[in-house]
Structure 1
Amino acid sequence: MRTRWILVLVMGLLLTACSSDDGASDGRVTLRFQSLAWQEESVDANKELVEEWNATHPDVKVDYVQGSWDSVHDQLLTSFEGGEAPDVIHDASDDLADFAYGGYLADLRELLPERLKSDIPKRSWETATFGDGIYGVPFLQEPRVLIANAEWLRESGVRVPTPQEPWTWQEFRSIAKELSGGGKYGVAWPLKEPVSATLNLSLSTGGQMFHRGADGKVTVRFDAADEVVPRTVHDEVNTDGSASSATLGMGGSDTLPGFFGGKYAMVPLGFSYRQQIVQQAPKGFDWQVLPAPAGADGLAQGVSPQTLSVAEDSPYKKEAVEFIDFLLRPENMVRLALGDWMLPTGTEALKDPALHTAKDDWATGTALAAGLRSAPAQSVRGYPEWKDKVATPAFQEYYSGAIGIEELRKRLVEDGNLVLARYQR
């Protein structure tokens, strides 16, 4: 009998040892932080902050894990289902819905420190809110802007817009036409992925596309306010000849050689593209950042900020949030923003002088931060399928001139609502 109890005791100790987390034997917690930083400056900033944390928090060690934007969704899904998800997860808010509703991410409402909750505006928190919970901390964002050939604009004599006096969408169309001719174009629209650009810019005109009813179900509408931006792009390409049809299938980077070569006066791009322009532009090339056109709702624009989340299965949620709070102290958020050439969400970080310089037009982008809102499709279940199977091909055909506005409306609404209905039964 005594031998049997000794065996039971030994087996229990062995099981306890085997089930302990890495580092638990010495009382030290180890967190895995998966970062999607990819630009050298951004990777360096993230790794430096991890090192600073580890140097000042001997009981909570953070391991830096390099992830990739190209494969993050599938990689995270596999790691969640396999019980191997990182504790702290870097992603974008428009990728969180399935993980949040699927129970893979921790609800952070009771874990977030008051400093962080009050520093980030409500409009930014809405981008990571699904149902009643908050499943990520939004920390970096970028407006879509017009990158313009400054010399071309000066020589043309057109009015140059500012955040205080932006162009209207009609004015933008007229000026793009004025800047065109002789085989050159006023604007190049890189719309390989046309849906998010169209929906996010349409917030300026009051467009919303997705509407939630009293029963909580979401349906698609394509009203007059939703038409303004698509019509502008379509007419610049197919009526005015002020936008090149060749760029419709391009990504943003693909348009830069033509922009540098003097083929396009303006290119609508994300604010962070400035880094590529600084690195790649020919010596002496004069460029500037202009605000995107404004509509009935001014400079409002939809964004999907980068986020930091905590895995629901993490045994160290409290420590993970403490690390996130450290990463997102105002001075650290500025370092991350500068490394990614993006804007911080935090109100204190946005005040930093480094983000208000004329150099590289930081000041122009920072002036647009107040108009950034949650992207219209942010919390819509079924949006990825609607985008891939319905909206992307419909917008591509409309912008190329293959179909008209009524056929576009029919596909987006009728076909789109059939898709969304499957997710809302």
Structure 2
Amino acid sequence: MKGLLVRLARPGARMDHWSFLFGQIAIHSLIVLIVTGVFLTFLYDPDTTQVIYQGVYTPLRGVPVSRAFDSTMEISLEVRGGLLIRQIHHWATLILVAAICLHLLRLFFTGAFRRPRALNWLIWVGLSLLAIAAGLTGGILPDDMLSGGSLALIQGVTQSIPLIGTHLTGLLFGEAVPGDRVIPLFYWLHVSLIPVIMIGLLMIRGRLVRRHGRTHYPGATYVPPLSSLALFFATFGMLTLLSTVVQINPIWLYGPAGPSATSAGAVPDWYMGFLDGALRIMPAWEPVVFGHPLSLSILIPALGIPGAFFTVLAAYPLIERRLTRDRALDHALDRPREAAVRTAFGAAGITFFGLLWTAAANDQIAYQFHLSLFAVTWFFRVAVLAGPVVAFEITRRLCLALRAQEREERAHGIETGIIRRSSHGGYTEVITTSPAQERIPASRP
């Protein structure tokens, strides 16, 4: 304890930067997911057999529903505390994906993926995919109208895959769509395989942190956090508060899934919004190749864009190492301005997916602002191509300008705007030195 206090008192020592907390929030959200998931597992039935609803919700009494929908209704409206636990579980999924994405952004913009931490970067990329898969498979389980719409999308994407699409659809759904196979399959993926893989990856990540140590900003000393348990309770408390006051996924209002029923206002969870936007603005390209139609209007937005993005994301440490020829071991973090090209690429990627995410509301934008839906769709088609280029160049120039300004201040001091009169009657402006005179980190491309 004495050594810790000495390090705290030493000049330049500092606690974790606030952005370091995203990884901890992701882990804490996963813990909440596992605990609430165990509770829901004992009450949920993934059976798709049709029964007549006889629960407490009067508007649906006498309606044929699946046993999965019936058990979810029972959890929500008849089990004491069931709705709260179910909503905590849903909110924790949303926060988990958000925390992982923000943590990946922190790793990317600070260069925390460089040697010897490339494997740690791959683990977090894998965790992001697994978290999205957990949210997607979990959203299917209630067998309500929204999950039926998601299954229809999955069916369409699967069938659009050339050569093997029909066979994959049969393996996933069985002889009929949606069939009685997919919900039990997604259930076991959701409650067993995906959580086990995520826990295993986090255990490997913990061993890597102990082996390589933690990253830090130049001039800063890492101090182990004293409030990890407090952060867990804060995360759990916020999830409980959200689940108490903000309703999410009220399946009793949507009703059971039906092959011909969907809601006009149905939207996916936020982390799947880019996929919805890409599908909405993609032109209807259906070329015929060797006598067979090729559904590019589904393949490109649903498989091509996400596949290319996550491939480049996973391989980025290798790509940057090859381009910069930087093979040194890096334990100090970059400020975003110190790697202008990398930061510009990150800004371009955020712009691209931000525009796709916004395009998922093209109909609402057209309706609310009294615009043509055709015009709004074409705007996004052009913006997703031009926007990232503009964002790249603006960000790169900002980073270079900030670096130039910093060098100027270190060389000549900072203008304070304070004018003083000397004893001889002359006036001069007070120039101060830079707040810190430490070494300027080498700029990266």
TM-score, with length taken from structure 1: 0.27
More helix by share: 2
More strand by share: 1
Q: Larger radius of gyration, structure 1 or 2?
A: 2
TM-score, with length taken from structure 2: 0.26
